[in-house]
Structures are given as C-alpha cells and as structure tokens.
Amino acid sequence: MADRPRIIGIDLGTTNTLVASVRNRIPKIVPTDRGNLTLPSVVALSARGDLLVGGVAKDQMVTNPKNTLWGTKRLIGRKYNSKTVEDLRGYFPYDIVEGANGDAAVMMGGKLYSLPHVSSFVLGQVKTIAEQFLGGPIEGAVISVPAYYNDNQRNAVKEAGRLAGFDVKRIVNEPTAAALAYGFNRGLDQKVLVYDLGGGTFDVSVLHLAGNVFEVLATGGDTFLGGADFDNRIMEYALERFREETKVDLNTENPIALQRIKNAAEAAKIDLTLIPNVVIDLPYIDERKGKPMDMRIPLTREFLNSLTGDLVDRTFEICDRVLAEKGISRAEIDEIILVGGQSRMPLVQQKIQAHFGKAPRKGVHPDECVALGAALLGDSLGSIDAVTLLDALSMPIGYAMPNGRVKRIIEKNSLIPMVKSFRLPPPKEPGSPFIELDIYQGDSDLLVDNEYLGTVRVPSAAAGRKIDFRLTEECLLQVTVEEASGMRKVDLATRDTPEQLKRALQEVASRHSQQVPSSSNSGSDDRGLFSSIKSIFRRG
C-alpha cells in the first residue's frame, strides 16, 4: 500500500513560526535552516533589494526598520478603515496602506504587499525547510489560527498558505491544536482549559476530551493582548526614564534607537523569567553635540509585575467570562494547559495557581504544542482512527439592521460545522431592485464595533426565500440562497465601507466640521467621530 501524502502542521505565530511532522504517530518539530526550532515571523527587503525571511530578516531589523515587516499577524484579514487598523498605524515603523478591496496592506521597498502575500513568504520558507529536512515534497498543511480570528482573517491565512504553494487541508484553532497535542491517544475523560498567551493574541478555550473526541465547550479571547504588549510596557518605561534623565525624546527622533530598545525590552522580559534582576544596557543609543549617550536602566521582576499586572488580570477576566457563558465553574476544570511564550512569565503561572486553585500542566511545551497538534490532525485526516474535532464559533455572526445594530444569526459558542436558516428580508429601500445584507462578526450589538465580512446582494424578488449561513469545520462562512432549482451559493461582495456606515460617517463629519475649531487636535477629533457614530446608532 502506498504511503499517505505527507501533511505538516504549521503554527503561524505573531513572533515565531513552527512546523511539525508526524512519523510513526509521533509528532516532532522540524528544525530551521539555522538549527533552531522556531523561525522568526519577520520579512524584510535588504538595501540591495534581496528578500529576507526569518532570522536573517530579524538580524537587520535595527538598521532597516522601515523595510522590515514584523507583527503582521495583527493586521492580516483586516480592513484598512477598521478601528483596529487605525489604532495600529502608529505602532509599527513600516507603512500600513490601503490595498485591494479596502484591505489593510503594507509597503516594503516602495512596493505594496497584501498581508496574505507577506505571510506567504514566511510559509514558503517553512515549506522549503520542511522539504529539505524531510527529504521530499510536502503535499499539504494544517495551519493554526487564533480561536478569536474572524472569517476574514481565517480566509486570509488560508490564502497565504495557497500563495506559498500549500494545499491547505485545514485551518485549526490554536487552543484546539494544543489540546490535541496534550490528549491525543491518551484515552482521557477530562475538561481542560487552554490558556494561550502568545506574541500578539490571547485565546482561552474549554474543551471536553473523551478519547480522541475533542469538543470545544466555550471559547473567547482578545486579538490585541499578547507578549508584544508586555514588551511595549517595558519600552515605554525605558523611554520615559531616559527622557527624565537626559531631556531627550527618543520616541520621535530616532527610529533605529527605538528598534534597539524594543529588542532589549523583549530580551529583558525573557531574562526576568529566570532571574530576578536585569539591566537594559544600550551604549551609544543617541548622540548630542558630538557626545554619545548611553541607556542604562535596571529592571526587576517585581517592577515588571507592577508594569504589566493589569494585562495579566485582563486574561483572567476573559477566562471567567468564557466559563460563565457556558455555566462552567473553575472547580470543574481538570487541567490547565499553557500555550505561547508569554505564558512562561512567573506572574502568569502564580495567578493561574491562585485563580483556579491548581498549577498548570507542566508536560506540554508552550511553544511547540500548537504545531505538534496541527501535525497530528494532518496525519489523522483520512485515517480510520481519525481525530474528531467538535469546535465552536468564537464570535457571533449576523447582518446589519437599519438602526445600526446587528441581528445575530449564529450565536457565539455554536458547535461547528453547522447551518442556520432564515428568510430574506425585503429591500432596505422600497422599490430597490436588490436586497443587500451587510454581514458582520463580533460580540457587540452595534455594527461599528464589529468586523465587516462582506455583503449578500440578491434580486429583490428573493424576499421571503430561505437563506442559509453555513459554517464549515474550519469555521469559515458560506452563504446559500434558495432558488427554483435549489440552493445556490452566493459570494460575499466586499466594499471599503458599507453604505449605511458611510452615511453615518458623513453625517458625523458634517457635524464636527461645524462644531470643532480647525486648530483642534486631529487625534481627539477621530475619537470624537467614532463615539458620535456609536451614539447615533444607540439612539436608532
């Protein structure tokens, strides 16, 4: 009998990417070309115009910050005009611009790149590494994503895999993959909580493990809470201390110095996991009147805890909310599995012990378990004793109502795959030739707080017909509409800003032009615009 096609598992991380393969039912991490187990998720264009990926790209990050792309996992699948991307535009040294279909994109070497294209460079490097190490072509891949990713983000990751030359067999949620690595073939009957604090995102999932059946009971998270936020707290503290001591504001004057401080902040945080005291020591960080200026700032683990304690507390607020949504008590949790490098922080582990009354499981590697679980899933696809995953929707999906609210069609924590049917409403405007449903995903009842997924556009004669929202096993949305010949799949049209939202923006902008003096701070104007839009919809 011929060997089954080889399918690798990939953990496409904000900070690092890992790849794993299975041999004789045992998953192992594939080492990179540098002999490491992780590949930095960094892409750059050198001064000579060479494309760099991984460690070589990260090595020149300090001297080439404008053309070095990192942390792009926070941007992938987002609309350029979304509040999320607006908040991030000043966060990265590279330029975030508007790409095709209103998506966020980035500039590198004067050229525009889509976010799936950027991620495909990392995945392509992983593919080359795996093929060289395993000695043959790779047929397919299972790629992990944060459980709290929306439909756009999941599709963007899948597109990145295709651009890299993979047959993407499955997209799997990171906590689910981690639980697989923990419980596969162990014959367990347990409720486990997966606490996933990575470089850019926080996810928490509660699963029931029964043999090789992995059922997600509840899930939640925050796509803007991760190790990078801990690094930023250290960086902000270092900049403030330097400003107090020297009266020099590096924040606006020296991008290379900022990148050095960012790297030093991350290194200090990692060192404080093992030792109680470090010094951020950066000679020649700047120059004034021909004299070099050094940065030397001591940092203790205790002070780091005070700087970042509120970030850790936020993770437990999310944990409690997820448990409460399904009526699960902390005492019912049998095991806690840690995922992500930031979960190694002593404060995190101390607070887990205090919060849940039990220590986290030590036998699962927080950096490797997601890739290992993805590889196990890939290896089991099509086999007789395949793993059964019963995953859940992390954020509800619905469509926009005329009053600016969202009518939910599929609720959060619904088991997938699934189908939800309803009847098409009449057109928004009487006499309109089309029915347009703007689809949104998110936890809020207000559409401005949610992510726009696309628009269903059908002839007005379809009013009253059945429409299905189908979620695949990858938690991807498919829409079908009833016709005389049966159900027909409808592609979601996309537009930069749905008409309803555009009208609200124009109305509020008009008010502000009459009320706000031209000398006002533009940043506060933007926040005012956003809150005013919300107030209009609340009145609606």
- Identify the pLDDT of residue 384: 59
Q: What is the pLDDT of residue 512?
A: 46
What CATH topology corresponds to 397-498? Substrate Binding Domain Of DNAk; Chain A, domain 1 (2.60.34)
Residue 279, pLDDT > 60, answer yes
What is the pLDDT confidence band of residue 113, given thresholds at 50, 70 and 90?
very high
At residue 466, does pLDDT exceed 90? Answer: yes
- Count of helices and strands (H, E) across the chain: 13, 28
Q: Is the pLDDT of residue 509 over 60?
A: no
Q: Is the pLDDT of residue 240 over 80?
A: yes
Q: What pLDDT shows up at residue 68? A: 96
Q: Which of 151, 196, 231, 451 is catalytic?
A: 196
Residue 334 known to be catalytic: no
Sequence-distant contacts of 382-389: CB under 8 A, at least 24 apart: 382/4, 383/4, 385/212, 386/212, 387/180, 387/184, 387/212, 387/214, 388/212, 388/213, 388/214, 389/172, 389/176, 389/180, 389/214, 389/216, 389/473
Q: Is the pLDDT of residue 181 over 90?
A: yes
Average pLDDT, integer, range 244-263:
85
Residue 97 has pLDDT above 60, yes or no: yes
Start-end of CATH 2.60.34.10 domains in the chain: 397-498
Mean pLDDT of 447-455: 88
| Whether the predicted pLDDT of 518 surpasses 50 | no
What is residue 510's predicted lDDT score, i.e. its pLDDT?
54
Q: Is 428 a catalytic residue?
A: no
HSE of 457, CA atoms in CB hemisphere, 13 A: 11
Note whether 37 and 71 are within 8 A (CB): no
Q: Tell me, what's the pLDDT at 521?
A: 41
Q: What is the mean pLDDT of the chain?
A: 88
CB 214 within 8 Å of CB 388: yes
CB atoms under 10 Å from CB of 251, counted, come to: 16
The catalytically annotated residue of 58, 73, 127, 412 is 73
Q: Enumerate the CATH 3.90.640.10 domain ranges in the chain, comma separated.
A: 227-305
For residue 538, pLDDT beyond 70: no
pLDDT at 81 over 70: yes
Q: Residues 502-508: what's their mean pLDDT?
A: 50
Answer yes or no: 525 catalytic. Answer: no
Q: Name the active-site residue from 151, 174, 335, 367.
A: 174
Fold of 227-305: Actin; Chain A, domain 4 (3.90.640)
* Distance (Å, whole) CA 328 – CA 322: 9
Q: Between 461 and 84, where is the model more confident? A: 461
The contacts of residue 179 (CB under 8 Å, 6+ apart) are 192, 194, 205, 207, 209, 214, 337, 373
Q: What is the mean pLDDT of residues 68-92?
A: 89
Average pLDDT over residues 228-235: 95
pLDDT of residue 495: 60
Q: What is the rounded CA–CA span in Å between residue 359 and residue 341?
A: 17
| Across 176-195, average pLDDT | 95
Residue 103 designated active-site: no
Please tell me the least confidently modeled range out of 170-179, 342-351, 461-470, 482-491: 482-491
pLDDT band at 496 (very low <50, low <70, confident <90, very high): low
The average pLDDT across 209-226 equals: 93
Asked if 369 and 195 touch (Cβ cutoff 8 Å), the reply is no
The pLDDT-based confidence of 91 (bands split at 50, 70, 90) is confident
Q: What is the pLDDT of residues 355-370, one digit of tens each?
A: 999 999 988 899 999 9
Mean pLDDT of 517-527: 39
CB pairs under 8 A, 24+ apart, for 234-238?
234/265, 234/268, 234/269, 234/280, 234/299, 234/304, 234/307, 235/261, 235/262, 235/265, 237/297, 237/299, 237/307, 238/264, 238/265, 238/280, 238/295, 238/297
Query: Higher model confidence: residue 539 or residue 350?
Result: 350
CB 10 within 8 A of CB 141: yes
> Per-residue confidence at 5, pLDDT binned at 50, 70, 90?
low
How much is the pTM?
A: 0.87
Least confident of 12-21, 277-286, 381-390, 413-422: 381-390
Measured between alpha carbons, how far is residue 477 from residues 154, 287, 361, 453, 519 in Å?
Answer: 10, 54, 34, 9, 45
- Residue range 273-290: mean pLDDT, rounded: 92
DSSP for residue 103: B
Return the beta strands (E) in 462-530 as ranges: 466-471, 477-483, 486-490
pLDDT of the residue at 315: 98
* Span 263-276, average pLDDT: 96
Q: Report, as an integer, the average pLDDT of 388-408.
A: 93
Closest CA relative to residue 482, chosen from 536, 419, 529: 419
Question: pLDDT value at position 483?
Answer: 86
pLDDT digits (tens, 9 = 90+) for 402-444: 888 999 999 999 999 999 999 999 998 888 899 999 999 999 9
Q: What is the mean pLDDT of residues 19-48?
A: 92
Q: How large is the average pLDDT for residues 170-186?
A: 94
**Rounded CA separation 503/64 (Å):** 41
Which residue from 257, 264, 288 is spatially nearest to 278, judged by alpha carbons?
264
